[in-house]
A and B are shown apart, each in its own frame.
Chain A
Amino acid sequence: MDLLNSLALGFSVALSPINLAYCFGGVFVGTLIGVLPGIGPVAAMSLLLPATFAVPPESAIILMAGVYYGSMYGGSTTAILVNIPGEAASVVTCLDGYQMARQGRAGAALGMAAIGSFLAGTLAVVGLMLVAPTLARFAIKFGPAEYFSLMVLGLSILAYLSHGSLVKAVIMAAAGLILGLVGLDSITAIPRLTFDRMELVDGLGLVPIVMGLFGVAEILANLEQELKREIFARRITGLMPTRDDWRRSAWPLARGSVLGFILGILPGGGAVISSFLSYGLEKRLSKTPERFGKGAIEGVAGPEAANNAAAGGGFIPLMTLGIPPNVVMALLMGAFIVHGLQPGPLLMVQKPDIFWGIVASMYIGNIMLLILNLPLIGMWVQLLKVPYRILFPLILLFCVIGVYTASGAIFDVYLMIGFGVLGYLMRKFGYEPAPLVLAFVLGPMLENNLRKALLLAQGDFMTFVERPISATCLAIAALLLLSPLLPRFGARRNAIALEQS
Chain B
Amino acid sequence: MRPDLPSGLLWLAAGAFVAWEGYELGLGSANDPGSGFVLFWVGLLLVVLALVQLGQALARPAEAGIRALWRDLHWWKPVGAVVVLAIYAVALLPVGYLLSTFAFLLVLMLAVDRNPPVTAATVALSATAITFLVFDKWLGVGLPRGIFYL
**Chain A interfacial positions (CB closer than 8 Å to B):** 50-51, 54, 165, 167-168, 170-171, 174-175, 177-178, 181, 185, 187-188, 190, 192-193, 216, 219-221, 223-226, 388-390, 392-394, 396-398, 400-401, 404-405, 408, 410, 413-414, 417, 420-421, 424, 428-431, 446-447, 450-451, 454-455, 457-461
Contact = CB atoms under 8 A, between A and B. Distances in A.
Given A394-B127, A429-B4, A459-B30, A408 B142 contact: yes
A397 B105 contact: yes
Contacts of B56: 165, 167
Contact of B37 (A170, A446, A451): A451
B46 A190 contact: no
Contacts of A429: 3-4, 7, 69
Closest 8 interchain pairs by CB? A459-B31, A459-B30, A220-B78, A389-B113, A393-B108, A223-B77, A185-B35, A224-B73
A263 B128 CA distance: 42
A225 B73 contact: yes
B142 to A, nearest CB: 7
B74 to A, nearest CB: 5
Contacts of A223: 74, 77-78, 81, 112-113
Contacts of A216: 85
Contacts of A171: 11, 46, 49-50, 53
Interface string B15-44: 100100100010001111111111100110
Nearest to A452: B33
A177 B30 contact: no
B127 to A, nearest CB: 6
Nearest to B51: A167
Given A168-B53, A405-B141, A224 B30 contact: no
B99 interface: no
26 contacts: A51-B139, A167-B52, A174-B46, A177-B42, A192-B35, A192-B39, A193-B39, A223-B74, A225-B74, A389-B109, A390-B109, A392-B81, A392-B113, A393-B105, A393-B108, A397-B127, A401-B135, A408-B142, A414-B86, A414-B89, A424-B78, A429-B7, A431-B7, A447-B38, A459-B30, A460-B30
B112 A404 contact: no
A224 B141 contact: no
A192 B86 contact: no
Given A185-B35, A454-B31, A389 B85 contact: no
A310 B135 CA distance: 33
Contact of B30 (A390, A394, A454): A454
A390 B115 contact: yes
B92 A413 contact: yes
B30 A174 contact: no
A50 B45 CA distance: 35
A396 B85 contact: yes
Contacts of B121: none
Interface in B84-112: 85-86, 88-89, 92-93, 101, 104-105, 108-109, 112
Contacts of B82: 220, 417, 420-421
A193 B78 contact: no
A51 B45 CA distance: 39
Contact of A174 (B49, B86, B92): B49
B123 interface: yes
B39 A455 contact: no
Contacts of A397: 101, 104-105, 127, 131
Interface range for B: 35 or more
A178 B43 contact: yes
Nearest to A410: B93
Contacts of A168: 53
Contacts of A392: 81, 108, 113
B45 A174 contact: yes
Contacts of A226: 74
A4 to B, nearest CB: 38
Nearest to B140: A54
Given A224-B70, A460-B30, 16 more contacts: A167-B52, A167-B53, A181-B42, A187-B35, A193-B21, A193-B39, A225-B73, A226-B74, A390-B115, A393-B108, A394-B105, A397-B131, A400-B88, A405-B139, A417-B82, A450-B38
B49 A404 contact: no
Contacts of A431: 7
B39 A181 contact: yes
B42 A178 contact: yes
Contacts of A447: 38
A401 B101 CA distance: 10
B139 to A, nearest CB: 6
A396 B106 CA distance: 13
Contacts of A398: 131
B146 to A, nearest CB: 12
Nearest to B93: A410
B92 A410 contact: yes
A461 to B, nearest CB: 7
Contacts of B119: 390
B52 to A, nearest CB: 5
Contacts of B39: 178, 181, 192-193
A450 B30 CA distance: 10
A70 B4 CA distance: 38
Contact of A401 (B49, B93, B131): B131
Contact of B85 (A178, A405, A417): A417
Contacts of A178: 14, 18, 39, 42-43, 46
A224 B21 contact: no
B75 interface: yes
A401 B127 CA distance: 12
B131 A190 contact: no
Nearest to B21: A193
A293 to B, nearest CB: 26
B134 to A, nearest CB: 9
B26 to A, nearest CB: 8
